[in-house]
Structures are given as C-alpha cells and as structure tokens.
Structure 1
Amino acid sequence: MAIAYHSVISFGLVAIPVSLYTATQDNDIHFNQLHKEDQSRVRYKKTCAHCGKELKSEDIIKGYEYDKDHYVVITDEEIEKIKTEKEKSIQILHFAQLNQISPVYYDKTYQAIPDKGGEKAFELLRAALMKQQKVAIGKTVLGAKDTLMAIIPRENGILISTMFYQDDIKALQRSYDVPQPTEEEMKMAEVLINSMDTPFDPSQYKDEYQERLKQLIEAKIAGKEVVAANPDESTGKVIDLMDALKASIEKQQQSKANSEAPSGKKTNKKKGA
C-alpha cells in the first residue's frame, strides 16, 4: 500500500511522526465512452487555447486569473515555501465526543501509522481517546487548502478523516410534515429494531449490483442473452404501517428461527403437510 503522505500529529508539546495511507479503494466497474458508429474509444485532449497545440502533463503549470485573460503563475515549490512548520503538521485544536459530529462532515479517510520513534506517544493518544470515547479535531494544509481533520481511535489503530467546513455543507432546507407516531406503533418499531440488532460485521456486506454488472459483461462477451433480474418482493406498496411492522417482525422471527434450527430440519411447514 502506497503512502499518501508523511506528517506529524501535534498537541501541546507532543509531536508524533506518522505516515498516512489511503483507507479506501474504488472497486466499481468503469465504462469507457465509445463512438456509436464504429465503437472506437472517445479521447479527450488538452490543448492550448492560444496556439491550439496538444499538451502533455509536463507542459502544464498552475496559474491564477487575476484579471480577464491575465494570469500569474504559481509553482508547487512556491506554495510549499509559504507553509510554516505548524501548517505542515496536523495540529490538534480540541477534543470532542464522536456522536457530536454529523456524518455529513466526513470526507476521505486515511489510516495513520506511527513512524519510528513515535510508537509510544501514538499508542498513548489512541488509548486515551478510546478510554474517553473521544476524537481529536485538528487542522493541516493539504496542497493549497487548510484542511480540517478528525483523528478517530480504533481498537487496532487510528483513522484520520478529512472534513468539510460548515461553509461547504449545503443547508438542509428540505422539510416535511412531521406526524406523531402512536405508542403502539413506537413499540412495534422498537421490537422490529431489537429483533434486527446484531454487531456490525463489514465482511457480511457485498456490492451485489456490481456482481450482476460483472455477470452482464461476461454474458455479453460470451454472446449470451441478457436475462432480466428477478423482481424484489419487498418493493410492494405499503398500505398500512401497523400491518407492515407486524409482517416485518414475523418475517424476522421466522428467519431467525430458521437460522437457529438444526441442520436438515425446517421450522415453517406448508399447510396440509
């Protein structure tokens, strides 16, 4: 796994050198754009608006438009020069409860690993945050942006998530008429939630649509006919909330009973059997 970048986590007089690794990857199937007539690949070329010459990446530099068609060139070296040592490190600003932060603020997640010599301070920070059930909120400069970060403790390490600023988040303006559930409906909903309450195990979740997409591609390559997916029984229109809750609870209880039944024995006998 390639290192995303090196940094230092700083709070008080403590400095912890760390390496950050990307914690996620893109496993989605991506399609290329083709010309409809001959199925040739559609290519996008970068060209100069002045001379029309096609450009390679090494021919391109950064520029800021300070007036119409007037630019000042800024190099990566110049950007690095104006960064202070404080801005190159991850400065912890304060600590907070994890449940105080709305998930909408989280962006990209990294795994932080201590560099040599920083292991003890790293583990002390992780263990203290875990014990207090808190996260650290910090800032650093990534590229040309002052980036907000959440330092999140886990049982086996620390995750660091970049965060959006409040100005980046759209106001949640959409609203709806809020009905008041009855006491019976609340009890039924709680029973259903409790019946489906199991520890989170990420290995249990798969991208089923991507699997069907792979099967579609393989079928097309083999010249086979594409078969429509089976309709989902759960997409029927809900008529009555209480009936739907009761049916959901019964289905969940039956599913649980079947999973707990000894192998080879069925718990749901058909009528007349």
Structure 2
Amino acid sequence: MHTVWKGAISFGLVHVPVKMFSATEDKDISLKMIHRECGSNISYIRKCPTCDVDVEWDDIVKGYEYEKGRYVILEKDELEALSSDATKTITILDFVALEEIDPIYFQKTYYLSPDQAGGNAYNLLMEAMRQSGRIGIAKVSIRSKSSLAAIRIIDDCLAMETIFYPDEIRSIDQVPGLPETVNVNEKELMMARMLIEQLSTPFEPAKYTDDYRSRLMDLIQHKIAGEDVRVAPEQQRTNVLDLMAALQASLEAVKLPPTAPGGIDTGAAGMTPTTASEPIASTEAGTTGESEVVAKVTKPRARKTAKKETVS
C-alpha cells in the first residue's frame, strides 16, 4: 500500500512513530464524458472568463468569497504558515468508549503501522487500549485539513478514523417532514419486531456486493464482445500539419519563371527543392504541445554562363 502520511501518535509524553495507509478504496467504475458525434474524450480547460485565456496552474491561487464576486486571496506560503509541526502528530486528547460515538461522525479509515524503531511503543499503546476497552480521540492534520480522529484497534493493527467536528453535523431539526409524535399500532409493532428477529444474523460483510457495479461491468463486457465500441478519431499531430504547410511554402519560395534572365531554363529539371542550401527544420514548442516549423530556403544557384556571370 502507498504511504499517505508519516508522523507520530502522541499521548502524554509518549510518541509512537507511525506510517499511515488508506484502509479503503473507491471501487466505482470510472466513466468518461464522450462527444457523441465523434467519440472523442471531452477535455476540461482552466479558462479565465474575463481575460479569455487558458490559465496555467502557476497562475492559480486560492481565494475566499466573502461577498458575491469579492475574494480574499490566500497565497500558498500564507496557508502553509498556518500549519505548524503539529501536522505531523496525531495528538490523543482523551480516551472514550467506542459505543459513545454515533456512526454519523465517522469519515474515512486509515491503517497505522510502526515506523522506524517505534515497534515497542506501538505494541504498548495497542495492548493498553485493548485491555482498557477504550479508543483514543485525537486531532490530526492531513493535507492541510484539520480533523478529529478516533484511534482504535482492528485485529492487531492500530487504525485511525477521521471524524467530523460537532459543528459539521447538521441538526435533526433541519430535516423537514418529521412527525411530531410517534403513534404505532401494537399488533403491527409486534409483527415488525418478529420480522426483525427473523432477519437478524451475525454481520458477514463478505456476503454484501455492489449489484449495480456488477450489472454495469456485465453491460460493458457485453458491448465489447458485440463490438458496440466507439473509437475516438486519432488526433493529427500539429507538427505534421505545419510541416506540410512549410513544404508548400518552400516549393513556392523556389519557384522561378520558366526562363530566367540570361536564357537559363529554370524548369523542373535540376531545379528542385533539394538544391536548397538548408533543409527544413522542425522544433517542438515548450510545454504547450504545439509545434513550430521554421523553413529556411534559399534560391538555387543557376549555372554559370560562358562569361562567368552568376544568374540568381
């Protein structure tokens, strides 16, 4: 697994060096936006609507819109200054019972493994938590985002669950249409409880599958097998187009009248672009992906006359 964070767990004066790994992965099937007309992939361009120009990443900064259309610009170094060395520390503030935390608070799970020579401290913390039956509530910053976290044990591994701050949980009072009072029929309630009992079983996560994803993959494979496939047209390279234009311009540059001064015949024989003093050169342009072709062609030298006069 890829290491997403390195730091230490801190509780009291004890520091446990750890590495962090994402415990989950997104299995959603990625579908791209395709132009129905030709089958090409649609690209998204970072463009300034005011300047009407494409904007490079180096020219993009972050800003906070405090009024409609008015922004406070926040530079990268200003944002980094807000993050202290604590961003490399998972600071345990309290130890609580897991059942006291409502699942609505949980966000994302990470596995923690001992780093460097932290194996002994890692095992000590894990065994102490296992025997106490408590989990740790900590503060951590990942990618400049501060979050609460729950440190708990999964099998023989410390795991960290990022959790929402209380003010990030919306109040139930905001949910429309909730009944003011709960009135149920006793017989219906008894039957509902019987049904729940019949459907009750130990939790076996392996038996649950993503039916939509399976059906979508079946549909995709069916279309591939039936060759119901849209092939995007091959993009022509810009330098090829420019090269053709340069060749045409070169031919135009070396064209001479059928009879040059001095009676020299400048027809097709002996007067081809191969007599140019310099070949056509093509250079790639920086990072724009475009190409620029520069053609340098000089007029061919004509044969000397008996009087050693040069006809150009």
Q: TM-score, normalised by structure 2?
A: 0.63
Q: Deviations over 1:240-267 (max 9, x none)?
A: xxxxxxxxxxxxxxxxxxxxxxxxxxxx
Shift in Å, 1:90: 1.2
2:220 aligned partner: 217
1:133, CA displacement in angstroms?
A: 2.2
Equivalent in the alignment of 1:83: 83
Q: Offset of 1:189 from its aligned partner?
A: 4.1
Between structure 1 and structure 2, the one with the greater Rg is 2
Q: Using a 3 Å threshold, how does the CA distance of structure 1 residues 219 and 186 change in structure 2: closer, same or farther?
A: closer
Which residue identity lines up with residue 5 of structure 1 in the other structure?
W
Instruction: Give the 3-state SS of the residue equivalent to 1:36 in structure 2.
Output: coil
- Per the TM alignment, residue 64 of structure 1 is displaced from its structure 2 partner at its CA by 4.1
The amino acid of 1:161's aligned partner reads E
Task: Using the aligned pairs only, state the percent identity.
Answer: 33
| 1:155 matched to 2:155 | yes
- Work out which of the residue numbers 198, 201, 204 in structure 2 matches 1:197: 201
Residue 41 to residue 149, structure 1, CA distance change in 2 (3 Å) = same
1:179 is matched with 184
Contact kept, 8 Å, 2:126 with 2:158, in 1: the verdict is: yes
TM-superposed deviation, 1:214 = 0.6
The CA deviation at 1:79 is: 2.9
Q: Which runs of 5+ in 2 are unaligned?
A: 229-312
Higher relative contact order (CA 8 A, sep 6+): 1
Would you say the 8 A contact 1:135–1:152 is kept in 2? yes
The change in CA–CA distance for 1:125 and 1:31 in structure 2 (over 3 A counts) is same
Query: Relative to structure 1, is the Cα distance of residues 100 and 34 closer, same or farther in structure 2, using a 3 angstrom cutoff?
Result: same
Q: Which amino acid aligns with 1:179?
A: V
Residue 146 of structure 1, CA deviation = 2.5
- Cα 1:187/1:108, change in 2 over 3 Å: closer
Aligned-residue CA RMSD (Å): 2.6
- Secondary structure of the residue aligned to 1:210 is helix
Q: 1:127 to 1:180 in 2, by over 3 A?
A: farther
Cα distance, 1:145–1:26 mapped onto 2, change above 3 Å: closer
Counterpart check, 1:21 vs 2:26: no
* Distance verdict in 2 for CA 1:191–1:146, change over 3 Å: closer
Instruction: Tell me the matched-pair count.
Output: 221
Aligned pairs for 1:51-66 within 5 A: 51-65=51-65
> Structure 1 222/186 Cα, relative in aligned 2: closer, same or farther at 3 Å?
closer
Change (3 A) 1:187 1:3: closer
Q: CA deviation at 1:186?
A: 6.8
The gaps in structure 1 that reach 5 residues or longer are: 226-273
Deviation at 1:71, TM superposition (A): 4.0
Asked if structure 1 preserves the Cα contact closer than 8 Å seen for 2:83 and 2:144, the reply is: no
Distance 1:146 1:187 in 2: 43
- Corresponding residue for 2:119? 119
One-letter amino acid matched to 2:73 = V
| C-alpha contact (below 8 Å) 1:90/1:138 kept by paired residues | yes
Residues 23 and 109 of structure 1 are in contact (CA less than 8 Å); yes or no, is this contact kept in structure 2? Answer: yes
Name 1:207's counterpart in structure 2: 210
Structure 2 CA distance for partners of 1:171 and 1:65, relative to 1, 3 Å: closer
Map of 1:72 onto structure 2: 73
Describe the shift of the 1:13–1:209 C-alpha distance in structure 2 as closer, same or farther (beyond 3 A). Answer: same
C-alpha distance in structure 1 between counterparts of 2:186 and 2:42, whole Å: 54
C-alpha displacement of 1:110? 0.8
Aligned to 1:10: 10
Matches within 5 A, 1:22-61: 22-61=22-61
Any idea what the Cα deviations from partners look like across 1:85-119, whole Å, max 9, x if unmatched? 33531111101111111111111111111102211
